[in-house]
Amino acid sequence: MTHEDHVQLLRKAVPVGSGGVWADVGSGDGAFTLALRALAGPKVEIFSIERDRGRLENQKRNFQKQFTGTRVHFMRTNVEDILILPPLDGIVMANSLHYFSDKEQILNKVLHWLKPQGKFILVEYNVDSGNSWVPFPISFHSFVNLAARVGLSEAEILSSLPSAFMQEIYSAKAKKAV
């Protein structure tokens, strides 16, 4: 996927220039972190959470080239570990939730930092059976059911793209209940 694909998947949930305080959980090489910054603009503050040091270093280099001066905190930690974050306006989990079999447990932990009415954006393969690279994907239909169990409401698909890897990748948004 290209940078424009990443931006397209987030565009309907992140108004241009909206700023705010966001986290990208399981940010990998930072493709969606960069897309988030491109949309939210220079007033955004981002917490990029990734366990792999090399991938975080790659993100730092990309931010220095593309978005110098952005308030981005590169946090090397596992999602399961205790994190100290400020109240968040939004959370992105792009291609990271499918590594967890117990999605409800992970989301309950992550959503703790989301403000009431804060946005949760999921980017995922639209299937419910995985493989060795994507062990536990979650279709949009299954995400709607999960969202209700973890205190999210108004789940909706934002965008989708064909995927040569697993049929289709989609982005969805939900809000944290008050």
Would the pLDDT of 164 be above 90?
Answer: no
Averaged confidence pLDDT in the chain: 94
Average pLDDT, integer, range 35-44: 97
Please report, rounded to a whole number, the percentage of residues in the chain having pLDDT higher than 90.
87
What pLDDT does 82 receive? 65
pLDDT of residue 130: 86
Find the CATH number of the domain harbouring 122: 3.40.50.150
Look at strands 114-125 and 167-176 and give their pairing: antiparallel
Instruction: Tell me the average pLDDT across 164-178.
Output: 91
The pLDDT of residue 1 is 87
Q: How many domains does the chain have?
A: 1
Range of the domain at 165: 3-176
Which has more pLDDT, 163 or 122?
122
Contact by Cβ (8 Å): 104, 77 = no
Q: What is the mean pLDDT of residues 44-60?
A: 95
- Give φ, ψ of 75 to 5 degrees: -110, 115
Residue 109 has pLDDT above 70, yes or no: yes
∠ at Cα 152 (24, 171), nearest 5°? 50
pLDDT digits (tens, 9 = 90+) for 83-104: 789 999 999 999 999 999 999 9
